Structures are given as structure tokens and as C-alpha cells.
Structure 1
């Protein structure tokens, strides 16, 4: 019976952290969901949290929940702002969505210190510098 189920593999979906702006005092960062598919994503749910070790102690951030009824094809959606202070933690985004009657889900994790200039690319669709996980 399990052999009859087809795996719902998440492809052409990305979560990205983009640098929005810079001043002398700070940088402004946002997290985006990027739909690179030719079909819309429906009933999109995302949870986000940070966790890890900082200064020898375990740290956890609040769990935030986001929902979007539809994300059109070849588009992006702002998930949330992100503070540079959390870049030393694991930043996890758990995505769930429907395409037709099929449900898909995937966990995207930005590892500590992975959001650095050396990992920047020009983000597709968003057209800003940042770090992306497919």
C-alpha cells in the first residue's frame, strides 16, 4: 500500500534571505518565499523559528506562523523581516502548500553563519542580493 503512494517532492521553490538596505548603523534583511514554478501555490503555511547555541547557552526564538491563500507562478512573497543577531543560529522555515489536491512540505534551514557576503547571489524573481535555499 505504501508503495502505491507517490512522493510529493518539492522542486522549484526557494526560501531566501535578502539584503534590503544598508546604513552606517545597520542592515535591513527580509526572508522571502520564491515560487519558480509555472503553477500557483495554494493554502501556503510557513512556520519559522531560530535555535542553537550562543555564548555557551541554548537559545530558541519564538515560533512564528504565516499563511498565504495563493502565491502566483514565477513570483515571491515576503515572509518576515529577520534580525542579524539570529544569523549565528539555525533559522528554520517549514513550508507546506497545495498544488491542486496534492500537499507538499519541506523544511529549509539556514545554518549558523551561512548568511554571509561570500554566499550571496542575485536572487531570481526578487532581483536583490541574498542567500537562497532550493
Structure 2
């Protein structure tokens, strides 16, 4: 029966972490974004994030985006400096048409740093990308 279940592969949907200037507090903050680099709108996007290692576990954070248009991106959450020392996982479930998709994105501990910055698709910013 398991062989009959079709689990489609997620393509062109990414999670990125970007370091941005906070206008009010004049600080550099790390923010997580979801990027829809596909030609289709994503509907009912559910995001569950957490940070963890062998000794620590953050509470689960849950986010919902009703619709993420094609070739766009949306902010997920702010990441505190202490959380960057942990593995940061984002589990994303969404609908594209009538098909449900699901994928986990993992930023390993200490991989979110200025040395890892690269050019991000669509955003015209530099950040750390997980495909």
C-alpha cells in the first residue's frame, strides 16, 4: 500500500535566513523567509519551526500564510542570536492546486553566519539558503 502513495517532490520553494538592519533599534537582525521561486501560487502554507541540539529544545513556533504568490517571498520569523547556536528546522506544508506538498528545511548549528552569505533568488539580498 505504501508504494501506491505518491509523495511529490518540492521544487523551487526554499527557506532563507537574511541579516537585515532593524530601522527602529539600529541592530542587525537575522530573519527567516520562505521563497516561492515557482510559477505557481502556494496556498495554505503551514510552517512549524524549532531550534534544538542534544541538550536544548525551543518551543515550536507555528505560522500560516494563506497565499504565497508565484515568484514571491514572505517573512517567517525573527531568529534570536542564541538560537543560531542550535539546529534550526522549518517544516513546511502547502497546497499547489489540489496537491499537498511537505518538506523539512534544516540549518545546522552555527551555519547561520556572515561568512555563509550568498545571493538569494528573487530577494536581491544576501543570505543563507536551504533548498
Give the TM-score normalised by the residue count of structure 2.
0.91
Distance 1:91 1:115 in 2: 9
SS in 1 for 2:115: helix
The Cα RMSD (Å) is 1.8
2:73 counterpart (72, 76, 85): 76
Give the TM-score normalised by the residue count of structure 1.
0.89
1:108 counterpart (97, 105, 108): 105
Instruction: Give ranges in structure 1 of 5+ residues lacking alignment.
Output: none
Kindly report structure 1 stretches of 4+ aligned residues shifted beyond 4 Å.
Answer: none
Distance 2:34 2:104 in 1: 12
Pairwise mapping of residues 26-65 of structure 1 onto structure 2 (< 5 A)?
26-53=27-54, 58-65=55-62
Instruction: Give ranges in structure 2 of 5+ residues lacking alignment.
Output: none
Report if aligned partners of 1:49, 1:92 keep a CA contact under 8 Å in 2: yes
Number of residue-to-residue matches in the alignment: 129
SS in 1 for 2:56: strand
Distance 2:5 2:62 in 1: 29
